[in-house]
Amino acid sequence: MGKIVFGILVILLPFTILGQPDSLNIVSEEEQKNEWKFYFGFDFNRSFFAGRPVKINGFRVGAKLNYVHRFGIGIYGLNRDVVFRDVEVNELDATDTSLVKFSAGYGALFYERAWEVKKRWELMVPVYMGAGTIRGSYTDTAGLYQPLLEKPFSAAGVGFMAQYRIFRWFGVKAGVGYRVVFNGDKEIKQAFNGLYYKYGVTILFGELYRMVFKKDELEEW
């Protein structure tokens, strides 16, 4: 069972495809005038466990200050349960062919600092604190799913991200970080504590909107 909990946990944060609604240009400190903007981004994570692909869908919502400081809350969950056919279940109504499925969901408070931005490059330092729950169930002799486990966890992490904008509205990004679990059993801590990495693409919906509807507001690219 420990290996299964490990597998569910390691999929939570490794790969990211993130959509953001606004331009990422950053003004100098002299030009900053405490400009606040709404922040929203879809966050679709990708990973693998036991050779099978898994997906975690989510979103981030919050605010941006001077394009530099971004903070808010993110909500995530597996897009579908992960099912295993070869897990031994020590329950009286389980069989040798019992299926075991897991679901997971979590929320996270995040803060992201854009450390340096040039025409196509952006460097970021994201920090987050999150908490969630992993739930498992198995099929009994009648083929019905019965509860198997429910494990809460909470964690915090800090990382470094770099993004390169290929087009005005599209970029690629990659990063590394370190996370620590504050509660949970030994298996969860062993699964979550340590380095993580992610990579993906960024779609700037704000730039797409201006390219179509407000071309006069576009900055020189």
CB 72 within 8 A of CB 64: no
What does the pLDDT read at residue 21? 42
Dihedral sign (CA 170, 37, 122, 175): negative
What does the pLDDT read at residue 4? 53
CB 33 within 8 A of CB 64: no
Kindly report, residue by residue over 174-198, the tens digit of the pLDDT.
888 888 888 767 766 766 677 777 7
Q: Rounded to a whole number, what is the distance in angstroms from the first to the last CA of the chain? A: 53
What does the pLDDT read at residue 174? 84
CB 99 within 8 A of CB 19: no
Q: pLDDT band for 49, please (50, 70, 90 cuts).
A: low
CB 89 within 8 A of CB 138: yes
Cα–Cα dist 20/42, whole Å:
7
Q: Is the pLDDT of residue 17 over 50?
A: no
What does the pLDDT read at residue 46? 66
Please name the residue ranges forming H helices in the chain: 2-10, 186-192, 205-213
Cα–Cα dist 147/1, whole Å:
14
Kindly report, residue by residue over 83-101, the tens digit of the pLDDT.
888 888 999 999 988 999 9
CB 121 within 8 A of CB 82: no
Planar angle of CA 217, 220, 221, nearest 5 degrees: 120
Q: What are the C-alpha distances in Å from 153 to residues 77, 149, 218? A: 14, 13, 44
Region 208-217: what's the mean pLDDT?
A: 76
CA nearest 104: which of 44, 145, 150?
A: 150
pTM of the model: 0.73
What does the pLDDT read at residue 93? 92
